[in-house]
Amino acid sequence: MRALRISPDALLTDLNLPVTDAHSAIRECIGSPDSVDQGTYHRRPVLHIIDGGLTIGLPQNLAAWALASAWRGTALYPVGGPVVVTGRTATGDVTTLDDDLVQHAQAVAQTVRDIVAEWRTRPPASNEAAIKELLAYAVRDVASGW
């Protein structure tokens, strides 16, 4: 089943998860032998996030945060470490990720990479300004799928 791994440096990896025991494969893909949180920020995908990733010192994942925030329509809490995005059935089971949602993730990840590169020469005025800028562009990137 198709899924995506979003790394903290905003790079995406296409995954082909096994239909049976997908949860075990997800834990392996994000490097969490223990629990994995499932974040539902849109009706069709789910983000699989390391439980307490930031508190255990993992780097912030701006691309996953921007994608989830754009899907939800509001700035959410920060996310740490790698994230796997899968599809979700109406009953909440894991399924393949639809092509339009893959396109959302690709667009948002590219935008995050571009903006972070720009910030090296043009730093944002504040953290609040940075959050607003990233979220505005991420919302634009997913707007075609709403």
Write the single-letter amino acid at 141: D
> pLDDT tens, 4-48?
999 999 999 999 999 888 888 899 989 887 778 888 888 889 999
Task: Tell me the mean pLDDT in the region 87-97.
Answer: 90
The three-class DSSP label of residue 58 is coil
CA dist., res. 71 & res. 52, Å (int): 21
Separation of alpha carbons 74 and 34, rounded Å: 29
The pLDDT value given to residue 42: 86
Q: Between helices 62-72 and 99-119, what is the axis angle to 10°?
A: 120
**Taking a C-beta distance cutoff of 8 angstroms, is the pair 146, 70 a contact?**
no
pLDDT of residue 144: 65
